[in-house]
Amino acid sequence: MSKISIVVPVYYNSDTLMLLYEDMKAKILYRLEDYEIVFVDDGSGDDSWQVMNEIRAMDERVQCVKLSRNFGEHAALLAGLSVCTGDCAVTKQADLQEDSEIILEMYDSWKRGNKVVLAVRSERDEGAVKKFFANLYYAIVRKFINKRMPAGGCDCYLLDRQVIKVLELLDEKNSSLTLQVLWAGFKTDHIYFHRKDREIGKSRWTLGKKVKLVMDSMMSFSYFPIRAMSTLGVIFCIIAVLMAVEVVIEKFTVGTPILGWASLMCVLLVSSGLIMLMLGMLGEYIWRALDASRNRPPYLIDEVLKAEKKEERK
């Protein structure tokens, strides 16, 4: 009998956790052979930890993990995967935007021999601006980073125990867990679902976190930024040489005076700006290398609470 672990990262989700558990209990838990639910509190400042423990008291197959502070969803998922005991594990968002029943479809796909099952958004009930930037991000990923990224993107996925062991070996910080899963290259299947708009609670997915995800994705899995800097340098060098040749030719053939303080300053400012931008990008790489060299863990677990077995309570 195979066991599935459901890993739920929690960050300011006190208003949706009980609803999430009731939804899973009504739709899928009774249909699973064996399961466990792993809630990971990623430094929430609300009552999420208390609600998680209330659920733990209701279900002996629930365990609660508390991180010492907020490390980000990437680290929270890794922490949950590190303590889960299932033959496979599926990640589940706590915001109620994805139907719990897709877990059953992913579980069935895993039983058919797929070691990675991605839950891909076929549609999404969100504003036009959110859709545009989300689609732009996934288009960038498909073009420059990993062509295996689904066009609609994915928030949750099911992983075989073998894949989980690989992710634990990677132990990367400032990275994208989804891209690590795709990079691993195991046999993969796609399950499509309709992503709902958020109705309860407030999203903590800020603009700063979105920008960091783009930078982490690009710099952890692609050499495109470095190649882009080299290409720009070559292009500007060619333009500079051609302009210098043109100025010299005009001086000796037409007699055009070598003037142009304003144009010279424009070129100087543009080139200086590009140099500073490239130095900033190189600084990002150097900082990531320094952060990795410190060998600090991507997360710190403060507490792990498991429900008591029925036999232990007698």
Overall residue count recorded for the chain in this entry = 314
> What number of other Cβ atoms are within 10 A of residue 103's Cβ?
27
CA separation for the pair 293, 19 (Å, rounded): 42
Structure-token match 């410190």, residue found: 294
**Strand arrangement of the beta sheet that strand 4-10 belongs to:** 188-195, 116-124, 154-160, 88-91, 4-10, 35-41, 62-67, 301-306
pLDDT computed for residue 17 by the predictor: 92
User: Tokens in use for 196?
Assistant: 């709902």
Domain boundaries along the sequence of the chain: 4-221+297-313, 224-293
CATH topology of domain 4-221+297-313: Spore Coat Polysaccharide Biosynthesis Protein SpsA; Chain A (3.90.550)
User: Of 89, 147, 157, nearest to 121 (Cα)?
Assistant: 157
The per-residue pLDDT for range 177-220, each reduced to its tens digit, is 888 888 888 899 998 887 776 667 676 666 777 777 777 777 77
Global model pTM greater than 0.85: no
Q: How far apart are CA 260 and CA 258, in angstroms?
A: 7
The tens digit of pLDDT for each residue in 69-118 reads 988 888 899 999 999 999 999 999 888 888 889 999 999 999 999 999 99
Rounded Cα–Cα distance for residues 307 and 293 (Å): 38
Cα distance between the two ends of the chain: 26
pLDDT at 309: 57
pLDDT of residue 5: 94
pLDDT tens for 216-240 read 777 777 778 888 887 877 887 787 7
Please determine, for residue 314, whether its predicted confidence score (pLDDT) is greater than 50.
no
Separation CA 62–CA 39 (nearest Å):
8
pLDDT digits (tens, 9 = 90+) for 258-295: 667 667 777 777 778 788 888 888 888 888 888 777 88
Give the pLDDT score at 174: 76
Is residue 116 within 8 Å of 188, Cβ to Cβ?
A: yes
